[in-house]
Structure 1
Amino acid sequence: MKRKIRVFAFIMALMMLLGTMAACSSGGGGGSTTTQGNENPPAAATEPDNSNSGETPKTEEKDTITALLPPVTLEFQDRFEEIQKEFNKLYPNLTLKLEPASWDDMTQKLDTQVNAGNPPDLAFISSAAIAKYVQQGMLMDISDAATPEMFEDFDKAPLDYMRNGDGIYGFPAYMEVHAIGGNKKFMEDAGIDYKTVQKNGWTYEEFREAIKKGVVKDGNKTSRYGFVFATAGAATAKDYLSILAKNAGMPAAFDENLKFAYTSKNYLVLLKAIREMIDDGSMPKELSSIDAGKRWNMFLTGQTMITGKGLATFENLANKNNEKIKANDGSAVKDSIEVEYIVLPVPTFAGQKLQASTVVDGYVTFRGKKEPTPEHKANVVKAAYFLASGKIAALTNNDIFAAHITKSAKEAAASMETNRNPDNVAAVEFMLANATPARPDIPTDLGAKAIKIEDEVIVPKFQALLANEITPEQMYDAVKEAAVKAFGEDGIVKD
């Protein structure tokens, strides 16, 4: 009898132990009991249901997600505490730790952490930098961790910029168009139908005639130019040429057959056009010495009718300067005038179609030297989606007048006030619909060679062209020679 009692007691103890182990293992991370993004989780995730007497409620393991974030807008970093609280309210088991960085030290901070093998889970960087970190093996592919509902929330074009090969490495925050911007009054005085241009675009020939009309001269002195673009320094010169090249039938350094594109005859057509606008007086002869700050100052002080490159946020900057002028508080740009900023598409060259240049920045997902657990990976995805969608994205993009690229952000923004010009909103949407597609198919080795040619040949030759030290033909020949050397005769476009 005693033996039977001991056996029965042993069986009961074993059953209790197994029950306890099952209860512990059922609450792993990964968010299986919560919804994704900026939606409210099921009641069970925030208020466990204790109605089943004697049953221990399921819990999720605690986890911390780190993010290195620059001042995406003037107000963005001021919202960090609020953002962290909202995320924790949505996911009580998760902590979102936001580390601020300035734009100037963002790359250095990130690279220091990456090189130490301990990067943040998320970093706000350009999609153009994804290939670099993929090559270092420090990015986390989320294609198997994000839900279909997350991916479906995003517009396809900006989401594609987060791809590299077969992987997806985070969520885009915005797709900003590189446009140009005009002074509404000056364009109306010159008889330019800017509203038609906003809806349909314009050719180089139409654009050239328009900017000629914007020039104001007093004898031999020009008091207002038709068009000014910042080109001082390698980065701004590269921007100018790249933005125009996309609208001359060269949306990337390689065509769809992976042949180097800048040996096309259209490249020479473009270089000649750039020189023409300077030589006929529509643009300053000292264009090569104009930096971004001077370019914007010239626009606000009425020294140019159209400026570039123009971002959507420039409308907001112009509006704020107008308010300062009206308030007479002395903080407006010196000698500036009230300006109504009009968003305009870049002209097209050589009979090619509009292919708007864009920049896609976003929340890129990193990993350390060790493989992240599935639970942590899922939690990082939740944080990335939370930042890139819904109310957070709506507030961020409204601050900089950027277009909303998720359905959830568009819905959240519908109830938010903004003083954007509706014609400008429509113009940006038109350009986004004709945006340059992402090219995750370009191999990293080809991309590296193209960058080398750009840095060592294209940029210095282009700066010499702007300074009238060489001809368009001389620059074109130098680029072609370097391309043949790098890619061979069969690796370049011949048309």
Structure 2
Amino acid sequence: MKKMMFMLIALMTVVTTACSSGGGNAGNTGNAGTGGDAPSEGAAPAETAAPKEDTITVWTYPVHATYEDDLKELIADFTAANPHIKVEYEMLSWAEGPKKFDVALNSGNPPDLYFHSVDGQYVASGLALQLDEYLTDEIKNDYLPGTLELGQIQGKQYGLPIYQYQWAWGGNKRILEEAGIDWKKIQQEGWTWSEFLEAAKKLGKDLPDGGKQYALVTDGNGANNDFIELLSRNNGIPDVLDKDGNFQFNDERIVETLQFIQTMLNEGIMPPETAALDAKTRTEMFYAGQAAIISKAIPYYDVIIQNRNNDIDAGKIQGEKIDFVLLPVPHNDDAQPQTVMGGEGYVAFRQKNDKGAEHAKNTFLVMEALSGAKAGNSANELCLPFVRQSQAELFAGKGKANPDNLAAADAMAANRAEVVVLSLDDATAAKMKQFKEQVLKPNMQALYASEKSPEDIAEEFKSRGQSLFGQ
């Protein structure tokens, strides 16, 4: 859930789901069981061969506050049925885990299973395990429409998602209602850029302590591209490239998107110091009532803020309690609303010293065990959409989010944007990543700092796009 966590780290100072670091832990072990083929007709009965003992390694993250408890239970269930397969897991931290995995992958010795979205980089390594031969009709039919595909690269299965992440904005109910904003209507019907700008005029004001209340706060310190990507998708731009590899950031719509951000800065809708704001400061401003809306929220914020409110009641921390409102990202007036969603779960790998077909099969068996019905508790805890029918049935009526926010998440899911990178070949996906890191990120920093105009940035996009993509 790296992407999701970064949205939490990037927004709430609580990592994208409960957000705590973890240390290494060993999984459960089991003894050899029995199995084997039946003797041929007419032959004397023979002892069946015991299954070969095997060890599957899993690297994962604190997906939600009690995910390690979930994991232990899932492993215990699996080893009870498959005592010859030992499962060892390590709980990585969100800060250091990705680096550790990249080193392991580059050295040719990744874990058998890693918690992440599927990534073209993994396929390009030659070590990602293709899963299509292991997928039974029963498994495929259990996935809800369009969700199994979230674990595919160019139509080939490399991962099994356990939930759908969903990016949105989040609001402070008190501030919205004091300004007369009909947030329930926005949740169900969405809003345009023009409607947002009109609402923003009502959301900014001077505070009694001499500070300012802003309509919107985002982190502009160059940590990520989330803000521009959310807005550009809501202006008809699917990504830097479209699914056919056509460059999109040479379009007039990217100029419009950059100009929209500049307007929010110039009109004081966002803080003038946006370029210097990091995730922690942005979160503190939202908690302190200095911002009505925070960018790139996820449904799980509902639970996080409920927990914070409980801590305030218990005297553990001080501050104003907040009623969280999940809000769709506004879309340009002549564009369709788009919700950024994708799948996160487990991706399977071989090692450069291949351990053979039986080990690969066992890896998939563990993967399926960690992705099945009970694994749906992650979606339940995170207030995110399920990916499997069995999960939805098992956790029906047990949701933790406010009903209004759950309904808003469902409404936004109807406008799910395509995940472009899943359709690109490895080389093209790598170039798109390079563009985002080397071109998009520094230029957004320059926009927040008023060092470059939208028009100048758009021209650089065109130039660098031509250089990287030949378009």
TM-score normalized with structure 1 length = 0.81
Structure-2 residue corresponding to 1:153: 142
> Which amino acid in the other structure matches residue 110 of structure 1?
F
User: What is the aligned-residue RMSD (CA, Å)?
Assistant: 2.4
Counterpart selection for 1:309 from 279, 291, 296: 296
Q: Residue by residue, what CA displacement relative to the aligned partner does 1:233-270 show, whole Å, maximum 9, x if unpaired? A: 332xx111111111111112212442200111110011
CA contact (8 A) 1:173 1:362 kept: yes
Q: After TM superposition, give the deviation of residue 24 of structure 1 in Å.
A: 7.8
> Which amino acid in the other structure matches residue 297 of structure 1?
E
Counterpart selection for 1:349 from 332, 339, 356: 332
Q: Residue by residue, what CA displacement relative to the aligned partner does 1:443-489 show, whole Å, maximum 9, x if unpaired? A: 2222233333322222212111111122111111111121123333x
Q: Are 1:275 and 2:286 matched, yes or no?
A: no
Q: What is the CA–CA distance in structure 2 between the aligned matches of 1:198 and 1:71, rounded to whole Å?
A: 29
In the TM superposition, 1:279-290 aligns within 5 A as: 279-290=266-277
Q: 1:196 to 1:467 in 2, by over 3 A?
A: same
Structure-2 residue corresponding to 1:390: 373
CA contact (8 A) 1:157 1:437 kept: no
Q: 1:337 to 1:61 in 2, by over 3 A?
A: same
Q: After TM superposition, give the deviation of residue 344 of structure 1 in Å.
A: 0.7
Q: 1:109 to 1:459 in 2, by over 3 A?
A: closer
SS in 2 for 1:234: coil
Q: After TM superposition, give the deviation of residue 294 of structure 1 in Å.
A: 1.3
> Which amino acid in the other structure matches residue 431 of structure 1?
M
Counterpart selection for 2:166 from 157, 161, 177: 177
Q: Are 1:437 and 2:424 matched, yes or no?
A: no
Q: What is the CA–CA distance in structure 2 between the aligned matches of 1:461 and 1:92, rounded to whole Å?
A: 54
Structure-2 residue corresponding to 1:254: 241
CA contact (8 A) 1:178 1:310 kept: yes
Q: Residue by residue, what CA displacement relative to the aligned partner does 1:87-122 show, whole Å, maximum 9, x if unpaired? A: 112333332222222122212332333334332210
TM-score normalized with structure 2 length = 0.85
Structure 1: runs of 5 or more not aligned:
1-22, 28-53
Structure-2 residue corresponding to 1:469: 451
CA contact (8 A) 1:146 1:381 kept: no
Question: Share of identical aligned residues, percent?
Answer: 30
Structure-2 residue corresponding to 1:428: 409
In the TM superposition, 1:395-406 aligns within 5 A as: 395-406=377-388
Q: Residue by residue, what CA displacement relative to the aligned partner does 1:291-321 show, whole Å, maximum 9, x if unpaired? A: 1111111111111111111011211111111
In the TM superposition, 1:12-31 aligns within 5 A as: 25-26=36-37
Counterpart selection for 2:394 from 409, 412, 422: 412
SS in 2 for 1:191: coil
Q: What is the CA–CA distance in structure 2 between the aligned matches of 1:451 and 1:368, rounded to whole Å?
A: 25
Q: What is the CA–CA distance in structure 2 between the aligned matches of 1:460 and 1:117, rounded to whole Å?
A: 32
CA contact (8 A) 2:383 2:400 kept: no
SS in 2 for 1:243: helix
| Farther off after superposition, 356-365 or 149-158 | 149-158
> Would you tell me which structure has more helix in proportion to its own residues?
1
Counterpart selection for 1:119 from 94, 110, 120: 110
CA contact (8 A) 1:299 1:307 kept: yes
SS in 1 for 2:170: strand
Structure-1 residue corresponding to 2:124: 135
Q: 1:63 to 1:422 in 2, by over 3 A?
A: same
Q: What is the CA–CA distance in structure 1 between the aligned matches of 2:411 and 2:219, rounded to whole Å?
A: 24
Q: 1:231 to 1:158 in 2, by over 3 A?
A: farther
Q: 1:257 to 1:402 in 2, by over 3 A?
A: closer
Q: What is the CA–CA distance in structure 2 between the aligned matches of 1:88 and 1:445, rounded to whole Å?
A: 39
Q: 1:220 to 1:280 in 2, by over 3 A?
A: farther
Q: What is the CA–CA distance in structure 2 between the aligned matches of 1:306 and 1:389, rounded to whole Å?
A: 36
| Farther off after superposition, 293-302 or 148-157 | 148-157
Q: What is the CA–CA distance in structure 1 between the aligned matches of 2:401 and 2:117, rounded to whole Å?
A: 25
> Which amino acid in the other structure matches residue 402 of structure 1?
L
**How many aligned residue pairs are there?**
432
Q: 1:233 to 1:256 in 2, by over 3 A?
A: closer
> Which amino acid in the other structure matches residue 345 of structure 2?
G
Q: After TM superposition, give the deviation of residue 379 of structure 1 in Å.
A: 2.2
